[in-house]
């Protein structure tokens, strides 16, 4: 039987003795390779240095710059009860990103405080970071008790002070243990020098930590990592692959993919070398085929119909910690990675910046500097599905990439409305309720020799725009394509007749146009729509209701008079030239077959 | 889920992440047990397929059985098999067996330099023709921008400090003092042109985990790892002038697991049969900064 393995991080202020404690744990539990201890003792003797247990760790890590730990290292050790993987994290503020990297993988933490120096800046900061990273199981070691004469009072003072701080960040430690790493007191063996202490040793406290259980009881969430189709060797399976964050899924379960709202059910689980069973749950890296050919892509979250749905949107409020060399600031483009989704993001508002070691609010600051934590609102450039960290931390946390570097991390606190929230809600509901025929769009597309697509032509010169749009329809029809021309006006006076003449219906007019377009696209057709001077906001609304991959905005003629960022700009003045340009664009996008 | 299931799931997740985010990917296959487990994980991750080339650095001093095992599996599993070599050093006989350089110098030339040049496309790349079973010069000289390797944190000091996604700069160097943050299941997948990334799906595995997994999944491994009657076997595979068999009567993966857990090797480091590790403390880290696996 494989033994259970727990991952723990050892954190605390620089020089408070983390490496000595870890060295002791290794030595006193018999976890060292044969001869290691003797080798280090001999090395110290040769170099006339007093032997230190921290050297053991340095030796295991080949640490050249002895003294301070600069990066976290993975160290394995074992007790009678189970195996451990320790992340020995650096205590120097400069290396906070390394501490965070180690701590983020841990289920529990040992926080080390020097009995003589007491609670210091990084003792507190590390406590705060552990709370943000969701490491809830914590034991505090008050180390170097030999330096304070093994006194209970000194221990109590530090324990009380630190407990008060940790309470403020939502942590209740499982234990405070007075130890001496140097003498191995209360590490693996009970101390004789502190008769007043009746609690557990470090090893006993470690063995009481609970291993993380995969979140099988939460609603099903599987961020789609990729959809594979390996046609090599005659394999025609289309497999949706990912790692299940939470919940359980079975063959036949109705799935909803967010943020699109696409629905279908699980047909089969796929596996290698043998097919797995017909159920899978949290923690597993799986792959399944779908009953119908719905278009899903990397980043969407697979959920189960009937369970609570995640939020889908482009705005949220979050707590973030910043590790970047450059500050986090407004007006700059970043990338956000949440689950498997990734999109451009901007900082919309900073509500509050905190010094994580003092919990003081840093007033009058608008940029979040390195090592600070903040409460902010973010605005994404495309909709994403997410939970709040409170509902499900696995789908409620994200990282921010600045340039090429991961520069910060955060937890979603609240989903916020964005300009298209209402429309998106309607679209998701429409997709969930969609009544499918027996002929999927993909089959129609194969028969028609085309891809269902919306060509949206806008511009300032109405006459030219309409002529070119009609000419495009005619040209595609001649080529044998199934195509339809629709003017915005045709919708305004028909579909919109009930709201025609009212004030402030522009967005609703566009939503209805987009719904009509969506139906036509589902029928496998190419749709050519034209409308006067569309801006980015209008276009975003269309793309909220119609799959963005099946759309292109074309700006026809002269200079741009709105803030639209079109996929294609045409400055030709003759409709035939414009049609040629659009046709070759559509060919490049795979809408039309190659010549 | 037991801890092998967890290690497997994370390994698969990392492999899929690499495949989705890194454009020109390759996997190093040393023929040893670790990279063979990695190859098996890839077939699991991609449902029987291996959607990137496998790169083997041939020092020409590998134990012959390793090469025949490599080609047999490559043909059977229809792998894209690329072999790289430092032909220049070999033809000039600048090797340890030729007496021209010391062990580490030999590693630097036949492994590190050969690897660097194979990855960048400047060196020789031979590709196994699956129809004929012969190696032909590969037409593809594009640099690989992502390299999956089977290193483990418990092997030695510098590997214990690695990341799952570990960047290498334009000169192939590893900047140990300034590694990128890596938290939750988000990895560094954005890279400046000219740099590349090493991907380490087995980082959290220990030697005993590898053997338990080989036993559980019945993964075919090269027979050098097992005692065939003379009471000796290899615990770690490398070039024959620098790798020595150990005294052991383990004949199956199960025997090896028992030996590692409670038997004679329970507290003896795996690479104790590798002579180059012993030349100087810290030199392996130096080799690794320069691009050694």
* A410 and A328 share one domain: yes
Size of interface A-B (CB pairs under 8 A): 162
Q: Which of A304, A335, A352 is at the close of a domain?
A: A304
Please give the ipTM for the structure prediction.
0.93
Q: Which residue range forms the structural domain that includes residue A394?
A: 313-417
Are the CB atoms for A528 and A469 separated by under 8 Å? yes
- What is the token pair recorded at A172? 């209740």
Q: What is the dihedral of CA A58, A59, A64, A68, to 10 degrees?
A: 10
* A259 and A279 share one domain: yes
| Cβ–Cβ contact B259 with A under 8 A | no
Are the CB atoms for A109 and A130 separated by under 8 Å? yes
Whether residue A230 lies inside any domain: the answer is yes
Between residues A10 and A594, the one the model is more confident about:
A10
* A204 and A242 share one domain: no
Contacts of B280 in chain A (CB under 8 A): none
Q: How far apart are the first and last CA of chain A?
A: 62
Whether residue A428 lies inside any domain: the answer is no
Whether residue A291 lies inside any domain: the answer is yes
φ, ψ (nearest 5 deg) of residue B155: -70, -50
Whether residue A502 lies inside any domain: the answer is yes
Chain A closest CA to B8's CA: distance in Å? 8
Q: DSSP string covering A409-458, please?
A: EEEEEEEE--TTHHHHHHHHHHHHH----SS-HHHHHHHHTS--EEEEEE
What element of type H or E holds B18? helix B3-21
Chain A closest CA to B194's CA: distance in Å? 13
- Flag whether pLDDT at A216 surpasses 60: yes
- Please write the tens of the pLDDT for every residue from A491-544: 988 899 999 888 888 999 999 999 999 999 999 999 999 999 999 999 999 999
Domain holding A552: CATH number?
3.40.50.300
- Helix, strand, or coil here: A477? helix
- As beta bridge partners, residue A137 has A108
CA–CA distance, B181 with A370 (Å, rounded to integer)? 13
Q: Nearest by CB to B3, from A2, A74, A403: name it.
A: A2
| Cβ–Cβ contact B261 with A under 8 A | no
- The pLDDT tens digits along chain B (293 residues) read 889 999 999 999 999 999 999 999 999 999 999 999 999 999 999 999 999 999 999 999 988 889 999 999 999 999 999 999 999 999 999 999 888 888 888 988 999 899 999 999 998 899 999 999 999 999 989 999 999 999 998 887 788 889 999 998 887 788 877 889 998 999 999 998 888 899 999 999 999 999 999 999 999 999 999 999 999 999 988 888 888 899 999 999 999 999 998 877 877 777 666 666 555 445 666 777 777 76
* A65 and A168 share one domain: yes
Contact B181 A83 (CB under 8 A): no
Chain A closest CA to B174's CA: distance in Å? 13
Are the CB atoms for A108 and A11 separated by under 8 Å? no
- Please write the tens of the pLDDT for every residue from A330-352: 999 999 999 999 999 999 999 99
Position B11 scores a pLDDT of 98
Whether residue A594 lies inside any domain: the answer is no
- Flag whether pLDDT at A288 surpasses 80: yes
Where do runs of H (alpha helix) occur along A345-420? Answer: none
- Helix, strand, or coil here: A350? strand
| Cβ–Cβ contact A37 with B under 8 A | no
Residue B257, classified by CB atoms within 10 Å of its CB into exposed (0-12), middle (13-18) or buried (19+), is: buried
Instruction: Name all domains of chain B by residue range, CATH numbers in brackets.
Output: 3-205+280-289 (3.40.50.620), 223-277 (no CATH)
Contact A404 B5 (CB under 8 A): no
Are the CB atoms for A101 and B183 separated by under 8 Å? yes
Q: DSSP string covering A250-303, please?
A: ETT-EEEEETTTEEEEEEEE--SSS---SEEETT-EEEEEESS-----TT-EEE
- Residue to substitute from A272, A287, A301, interface B, most B β-carbons within 10 A: A272
Contacts of A299 in chain B (CB under 8 A): none
Structurally, chain A folds into a number of domains equal to: 4
* A48 and A152 share one domain: yes
Domain holding A338: CATH number?
2.40.30.10
* A85 and A174 share one domain: yes
| Cβ–Cβ contact A588 with B under 8 A | no
Whether residue A434 lies inside any domain: the answer is no
Contact B181 A323 (CB under 8 A): yes
CA–CA distance, B55 with B29 (Å, rounded to integer)? 6
Contact A399 B203 (CB under 8 A): no
- Residue to substitute from B1, B166, B185, interface A, most A β-carbons within 10 A: B185
Q: Which of A304, A330, A350 is at the close of a domain?
A: A304
| Cβ–Cβ contact A50 with B under 8 A | no
* A482 and A566 share one domain: yes
Position A68 scores a pLDDT of 58
Contacts of B184 in chain A (CB under 8 A): 104, 397, 399, 409
Contacts of B188 in chain A (CB under 8 A): 404-406
Contact B157 A98 (CB under 8 A): no
| Cβ–Cβ contact B178 with A under 8 A | no
* A286 and A325 share one domain: no
* A289 and A323 share one domain: no
Whether residue A568 lies inside any domain: the answer is yes
DSSP secondary structure letter of residue B144? P
The pairs formed by B130-134 with CB atoms below 8 angstroms and a separation of 24 or more are B130/B74, B130/B75, B130/B78, B133/B71, B133/B75
Q: Which of A208, A231, A264 is at the close of a domain?
A: A208
Count of C-beta atoms within a 10 Å radius of residue A26: 24
Are the CB atoms for B182 and B163 separated by under 8 Å? yes
Contacts of B2 in chain A (CB under 8 A): 1-2, 4
Q: DSSP string covering A212-232, please?
A: PPPBTTSPPBEE--EEE---G
| Cβ–Cβ contact B192 with A under 8 A | yes
- A547: left (phi > 0), else alpha (psi -120 to 50), else beta? beta
* A278 and A327 share one domain: no
| Cβ–Cβ contact B21 with A under 8 A | no
For residue A298, what is the nearest residue in chain B, using CA coordinates?
Answer: B20
Position A116 scores a pLDDT of 95
* A39 and A129 share one domain: yes
DSSP secondary structure letter of residue B268? S
- As beta bridge partners, residue A249 has A280
- As beta bridge partners, residue A192 has none
- As beta bridge partners, residue A140 has A111, A176
B132 CB contacts (<8 Å, ≥6 apart)?
none
Whether residue A214 lies inside any domain: the answer is no
* A48 and A193 share one domain: yes
| Cβ–Cβ contact B194 with A under 8 A | no
């Amino acid at each position: 039987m494989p033994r259970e393995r727990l991952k723990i991080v050892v954190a605390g202020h620089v020089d408070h003795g983390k490496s000595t404690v870890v060295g002791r744990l290794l030595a006193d539990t018999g976890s060292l390779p044969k001869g290691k201890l003797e080798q280090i003792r001999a090395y110290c003797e040769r170099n006339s240095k007093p032997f230190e247990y921290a050297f053991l760790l340095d030796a295991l890590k080949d640490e050249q710059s002895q003294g301070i730990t600069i990066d976290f290292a993975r160290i394995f050790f074992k007790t009678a009860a189970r195996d451990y993987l320790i992340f020995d994290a650096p205590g120097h503020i400069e290396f906070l990103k390394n501490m965070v990297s180690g701590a983020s993988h841990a289920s529990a933490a040992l926080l080390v405080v020097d009995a003589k120096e007491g609670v210091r800046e990084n003792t507190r900061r590390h406590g705060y970071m552990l709370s943000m990273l969701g490491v809830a199981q914590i034991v505090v070691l008050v180390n170097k008790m030999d330096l304070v004469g093994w006194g209970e009072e000194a221990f109590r003072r530090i324990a009380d002070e630190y407990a008060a701080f940790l309470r403020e960040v939502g942590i209740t430690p499982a234990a405070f243990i007075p130890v001496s790493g140097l003498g191995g007191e209360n590490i693996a063996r009970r101390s004789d020098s502190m008769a007043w202490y009746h609690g557990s040793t470090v090893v006993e406290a470690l063995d009481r930590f609970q291993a993380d259980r995969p979140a099988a009881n939460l609603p099903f969430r599987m961020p789609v990592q990729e959809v594979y189709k390996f046609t090599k060797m005659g394999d025609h399976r289309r497999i949706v692959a990912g790692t299940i964050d939470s919940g359980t899924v079975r063959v036949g379960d109705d799935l909803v993919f967010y943020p699109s709202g696409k629905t279908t059910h699980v047909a089969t689980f796929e596996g290698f070398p043998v097919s797995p069973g017909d159920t899978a749950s949290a923690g597993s890296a799986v792959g399944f085929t779908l009953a119908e050919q719905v278009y899903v892509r990397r980043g969407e979250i697979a959920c189960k119909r009937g369970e609570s749905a995640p939020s889908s949107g482009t705005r949220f409020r979050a707590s973030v910690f910043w590790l970047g060399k450059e500050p986090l600031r407004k007006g700059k483009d970043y990338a956000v990675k949440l689950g498997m989704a990734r999109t451009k993001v901007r900082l919309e508002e900073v509500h509050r910046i905190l010094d994580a070691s003092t919990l003081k609010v840093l007033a009058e600051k608008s940029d979040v500097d390195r090592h600070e934590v903040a409460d902010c609102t973010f605005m994404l450039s495309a909709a994403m599905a997410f939970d709040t960290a409170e509902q499900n931390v696995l789908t409620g946390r994200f990282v921010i990439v600045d340039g090429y570097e991961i520069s910060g991390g955060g937890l979603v606190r609240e989903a916020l409305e964005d300009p298209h929230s209402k429309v998106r809600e309607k679209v998701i509901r429409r997709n969930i309720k969609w009544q499918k025929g027996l002929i999927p769009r993909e089959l129609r597309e194969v028969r028609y020799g085309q891809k269902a697509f919306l060509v949206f032509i806008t511009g300032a010169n109405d006459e030219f725009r309409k002529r070119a749009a009609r000419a495009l329809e005619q040209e595609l029809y001649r080529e044998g394509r199934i195509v339809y021309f629709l003017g915005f006006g045709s919708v305004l006076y028909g579909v919109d007749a009930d709201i025609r003449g009212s004030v402030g219906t522009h967005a609703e007019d566009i939503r209805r146009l987009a719904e009509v377009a969506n139906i036509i696209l589902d029928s496998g057709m190419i749709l050519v729509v034209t409308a006067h001077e569309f801006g980015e906001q209008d276009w975003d609304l269309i793309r909220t209701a119609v799959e963005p991959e099946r759309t292109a905005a074309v700006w026809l003629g002269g200079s741009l008079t709105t803030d639209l960022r079109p996929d294609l700009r045409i400055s030709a003045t003759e409709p035939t030239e414009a049609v040629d340009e659009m046709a070759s664009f559509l060919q490049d996008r795979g809408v039309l077959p190659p010549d | 889920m037991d801890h092998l299931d967890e290690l497997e799931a994370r390994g698969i997740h990392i492999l899929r992440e690499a495949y989705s985010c890194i454009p020109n990917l390759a996997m190093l296959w040393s023929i040893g047990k670790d990279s063979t487990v990695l190859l098996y994980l890839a077939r699991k991750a991609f449902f029987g397929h291996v959607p990137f080339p496998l790169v083997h650095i041939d020092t020409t001093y590998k134990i012959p059985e390793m090469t025949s095992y490599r080609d047999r599996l490559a043909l059977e599993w229809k792998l894209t098999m690329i072999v790289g070599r430092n032909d220049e050093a070999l033809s000039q006989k600048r090797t340890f067996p030729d007496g021209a350089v010391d062990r580490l110098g030999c590693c630097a030339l036949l492994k590190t330099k050969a690897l660097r040049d194979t990855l960048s496309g400047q060196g020789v790349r031979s590709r196994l023709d699956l129809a004929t079973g012969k190696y032909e010069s590969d037409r593809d000289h594009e640099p690989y921008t992502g390299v999956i390797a089977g290193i483990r944190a418990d092997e030695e000091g510098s590997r214990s400090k690695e990341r799952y996604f570990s960047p290498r700069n334009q000169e192939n160097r590893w900047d140990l003092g300034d590694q990128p943050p890596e938290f939750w299941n988000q990895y560094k997948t954005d890279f400046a042109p000219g740099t590349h990334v090493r991907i380490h799906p087995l980082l959290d595995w220990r030697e005993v985990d590898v053997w338990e997994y080989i036993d559980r999944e019945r993964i075919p491994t090269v027979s050098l790892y097992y005692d065939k009657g003379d009471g000796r076997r290899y615990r770690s595979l490398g070039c024959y002038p620098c790798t020595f068999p150990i005294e052991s009567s383990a004949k199956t993966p199960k025997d090896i697991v028992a030996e590692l857990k409670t038997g004679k090797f329970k507290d003896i480091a795996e690479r104790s049969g590798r002579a180059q590790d012993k030349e100087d403390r810290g030199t392996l880290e130096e080799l690794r900064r320069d691009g050694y696996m």
